[in-house]
Amino acid sequence: MEKVLKRIEVTVGGKTLTCEEGLSLGELFATAGIKEAVAARVDGRLVDLQEPLKEGCRVEPVFLDSPEGLEIYRHSTAHVMAQAVKDLYRDVRLGIGPAIEEGFYYDFDTPHRFTPEDLPEIEKRMKEIIEEDRPFKRVVMKREEAVRLFQGLGEVYKVELLEEMDEEEVSIYRQDGFVDLCRGPHLPSTGWIRAFKLLKIAGAYWKGDERNRMLQRIYGTSFPDEGALEAYLEHLEEARKRDHRRLGRELDLFSIEEGIGPGLVLWHPKGALVRSIIEDFWRREHSRHGYQLVYTPHVALSDLWKRSGHWDFYRENLFPPMDIEGREYIVKPMNCPFHIHIYKSRLRSYRDLPIRYAELGTVYRYERSGVLHGLLRVRGFTQDDAHIFCRPDQIEEEIKGVLEFVVYILRAFGFDEFDIYLSTRPEKFVGTLDNWERATNALASALKAMGLPYQIDPGEGVFYGPKIDIKIKDSLGRSWQCSTIQVDFNLPERFGVEFVDRDNTHKQAIMIHRALLGSMERFMGCLIEHYEGIFPLWLAPVQVRVLTITDRVVDYGKEVLQDLLKNDIRAELDDRNEKLGLKIREAEIAKVPYVVVLGDREKEGRTLSVRSKRRGNLGSMDLRALVDLLKGEIEGKVSGLRSEEEVKK
């Protein structure tokens, strides 16, 4: 007897359609005249177009120009790359291959040592697979059946992943003879992939744990068309030129030495000078904004961190304890408990609040070696940290004050675009739900009062409270996490942080954690890349380099150098017996903002021939004119630090 297919109602594109049960989503979209969808969202669940309709539902097409569509596109490209690698090399075992923010990667365990020369061959095989237009087929099976399947294929990493799963059923994807464990969804077929590029090779520990086997990771990216891919590759090349690790080495700013330890930064004289200028500005502005500067130790008894909660909630990022005279110490991961103890060193009145403590405090956190990255991810770094102790009725006003301060400081360094996120309660947290709600509402109210647009970042608050994160955008449009503001009811409760109120009773103070730059290391890395190493004049470690053409003018060069130094201009003299062209090129490479060239004519006329890196040849001028020009720029009249009034505009 022929089975009668049930008719079901489906809402798609704002219209309700009646169709037969079992119709695929791809067929449904074709019926509805919807083209170029790569997947679908069925009652909020992301699925492949091959998925059959089983009951009435609401269906939304997912297009390639959406974030979900692009992620599916790139994840499918990762599968194609994995198949190509399996086709080309023997004894390849698959790790994982997710889409990431700007592309994808796949981890491989193979005796073959990948080199950059292998990538074109892998790309060639990928293009063949794409041209064959192989469908991505989803198969659902019992977990035990999938374990047997991947055991038979020798895919030990897939077996390990399966054995850690709780689900009774799992999905695999096939494209011709290639099989992979995957939740999906994927593109309808490999032929949908139009433009891709393999980028680099790196090592990666299985599951990110250095105790596991090191795998080989191939990174790539893919885009819906060649034009978008070319634009991205140009962007990558620009980012490569700005890489702070390369520029830090070329400009002699900092180094990280294996003999010292991974993630521990050595600041060279020029880098230390830039950092010192930033820190001096930071201290001056904090004093102007009502903060008191403090200093705290680098180590403390582990009991302090147990009481604060870091021992329980942050243990994996703490360095191992040290035994000193039978007592357990650790290097500090945070500054906040120290600031609390300074606050508690005397009785505080409601009239004393708010109290704002600020510190450039160096902290130490155990980051796994695989995630360390130049100045951006280190193990020892200096936070531009501050803690505000206030009454409950002062919270919103203090947060507004911090937001104004953040915007002023970041704009002073040339950052005018921000993305702001309000991070809410995570799964693991301390404190009461009522306090969490009060803190979150205070942050949201301050943002609204300031007229600052923001997005909610659910579950990304710290364990002790919600937070505002401010990400700056650099000259390439990339986002950098710098500033953060966190409201904390928990630590004041744990440490008994109180004040005497108007009615002579003891009340619990509120604590606001905040950082404006984040850390000196990360902010310096960001600055280097933002300016491509060409710092604004007020930050440049060497503001002027004086070049002599002949030995006859060396004495005049020394005189000019001394005059510049007396006028607080950071200058140096290149009086080597070398060709002028070489000296100019070296000054260009060193990204010195101004170059002064001295020859017989300049010596005779007591003049200077001046070149600006940004504006080219400025011609001849006397020393006073040059000093006035430089001081005007340093004071903010051209491209240096602007006034607070200008910044606020």
Catalytic residue check, 83: no
H helix intervals, 117-256: 119-131, 143-152, 156-163, 226-242, 244-250
Residue 424 and residue 456 in contact, taking contact as beta carbons nearer than 8 Å: yes
| 336 given a catalytic annotation | yes
Candidates 93, 107, 197, 336; catalytic one = 336
Helices (H), 377-416: 395-412
Specify the 3-state DSSP secondary structure of 193.
Answer: coil
- Among residues 387, 411, 570, 591, the one annotated as catalytic is 387
Tokens for 91, please give them: 């004894």
DSSP category for residue 414 = T
Instruction: Report the C-alpha gap between 80 and 76 in whole angstroms.
Output: 6
Length of the chain: 649
> What percent of the residues of the chain are helix, what percent strand, and what percent coil, each to the nearest 5?
40, 30, 35
Catalytic residue among 217, 365, 522, 591: 365
Catalytic residue among 50, 83, 175, 383: 383
- Judge whether 538 and 568 are in contact, CB under 8 Å: no
Catalytic residue among 134, 513, 514, 545: 513
Options 48, 107, 384, 385, the catalytic residue = 385
- What sign results for the dihedral spanned by CA atoms 48, 51, 54, 59? positive
Let me know: does 179 contact 189? Beta carbons within 8 Å. Answer: no
Q: Residue 527: which of 367, 410, 635 has the closest Cα?
A: 410
Those residues whose C-beta lies under 8 Å from the C-beta of residue 539, and which sit 6 or more positions away, are 274, 277, 278, 527, 640
DSSP string, 530-591: HTTT---TTT-S--EEEEESSGGGHHHHHHHHHHHHHTT--EEEE--SS-HHHHHHHHHHTT
Query: Is 467 one of the catalytic residues?
Result: yes
| 8: β partners | 19
H or E, element range at 59: strand 57-63
Give the active site residues. Answer: 336, 365, 383, 385, 387, 467, 513
